Structure 1
Amino acid sequence: MAREDATFLVLNGSHLKKMATAEEIAAAVGVASDVAAECLAAAVERGWAMNLEGKYLVVPDGTAQVHRSYAELYEPLRREGALPAWYARFEALNDQFIKAVSDWQKSDGDAKAEAKILKIAERLIKAIRDIVPTIPRYENYVRRFASGVARVDRGERDYVCGPTIDSVHTVWFEFHEDILSVLGRPRDV
Structure 2
Amino acid sequence: MPTDRSSPALLTLHAVRLLGFADTPRVAARYRLDTTRTASLLEDFRAGGWVTRSEFAGTGGWSLTDSGRAEDERLLADELSASGGRAVVARVHASFVPLNARFQQAVTRWQLRPVGGNAFAANDHTDFRWDDRVIASLRSVGRRLGALEDDVTQVLPRFSGYAARYDAAIARVVAGQHQWVDGVGTDSCHLVWFQLHEDLLATLGLERGAGR
Task: Give the TM-score category using the shorter length.
Answer: 0.7 to 0.9
**Matching residue of 1:85:** 91
Q: CA RMSD in A?
A: 2.3
CA distance in structure 1 between the aligned counterparts of 2:82 and 2:208, rounded to whole angstroms: 20
Aligned positions of 1:23-42 closer than 5 A: 23-42=25-44
TM-score by length of 2: 0.79
SS state of the match for residue 207, structure 2? coil
Larger deviation, residues 10-19 vs 26-35: 26-35
CA distance in structure 2 between the aligned counterparts of 1:158 and 1:78, rounded to whole angstroms: 40
CA shift digits 1:130-176 (9 cap, x unpaired): 22121101113233223322332333221111133211111111110
Where structure 2 has 5 or more consecutive residues not aligned to the other structure, the ranges are 114-122, 126-130
* Kept after mapping to 2: 8 A contact 1:78/1:183: no
Q: Flag the structure with higher helix content.
A: 1
What is the identity, as a one-letter code, of the residue corresponding to 1:58? Answer: L
What is the identity, as a one-letter code, of the residue corresponding to 1:73? Answer: E
* Kept after mapping to 2: 8 A contact 1:30/1:140: no
SS state of the match for residue 42, structure 1? helix
CA distance in structure 1 between the aligned counterparts of 2:167 and 2:24, rounded to whole angstroms: 22
Larger deviation, residues 40-49 vs 56-65: 40-49
Segments ≥4 residues shifted beyond 4 Å: 76-80
**Residue-pair matches, total:** 189
Where structure 1 has 5 or more consecutive residues not aligned to the other structure, the ranges are none
Q: Say which of 139, 147, 153 aligns to 2:160.
A: 139
Q: Say which of 13, 17, 21 aligns to 2:15.
A: 13
* Kept after mapping to 2: 8 A contact 1:28/1:140: no
What is the identity, as a one-letter code, of the residue corresponding to 2:7? Answer: D
Larger Rg: 2
**Matching residue of 2:128:** none
